[in-house]
Amino acid sequence: MLCLHPDTRKILTQMRRQLPAALVALAAVIVWQYLRFHDIGWDVLLVALLVLMLGGQYLLVRWNAALFVDGGTFGETSPFRRQRSFDVAELQGVERVTIRRANQAARQQFLVLGRNGAVKMRINDAIWSNEDLDRLWRRLSVAPTGSFDRVLTYREFKRAYGDR
């Protein structure tokens, strides 16, 4: 059985990108609260909640998320321990694509496609090491096609691949 877990360095890099926006939002709330009520008593609680949220996100992804191949099945376990598995025989291929949703940053993803061209899984390139993904593709006997240079809006993605 092949079981892969997210790359800690990539998770921390992703969290470092989120941290400045979170700190700016937290500072705005603290300044607003001070100007409005002339008190910063609850601000310690806000800082503690921010730390708990970021730490919880890291721990959930690090401890629970996984990709696996076991015999004739492959699948994923979500950070909340929800497991989905598929038959390897249903696998048609893997495509690289970048998906952009509204005002969010574009995300590089691997789309695991079934026989009918429907998306079975979306694997976020931002948290998995390249070496682990290469081992996964070798074990599944597929080679990713396409390029991350291909950028789709979410609407284009839904039109091309369905709702998944």
Give the residue-averaged pLDDT of 102-106.
84
pLDDT digits 0-9 by tens, 32-81? 878 887 777 777 777 778 778 877 877 777 778 899 999 899 999 988 88
151/100 Cα distance (integer angstroms) = 7
Residue 164 has pLDDT above 70, yes or no: no
Helix/strand/coil for 80:
coil
* Phi and psi torsions of 76, nearest 5°: -145, 155
The CATH number of 86-161, from 3.30.720, 1.50.10, 1.10.860, 1.20.1250, is 3.30.720
- Closest to 92 (Cα-Cα) out of 140, 49, 124: 140
Q: 114 Cβ partners below 8 Å, 6+ apart?
A: 86, 90, 91, 92, 120
pLDDT digits 0-9 by tens, 5-19? 988 888 888 778 777
**% of the chain at pLDDT higher than 90:** 44
What are the residue boundaries of the structural domains of the chain, listed by start? 2-63, 86-161
Q: What stretches of the chain show up as alpha helix (H) in DSSP? A: 8-37, 43-64, 130-140, 154-161
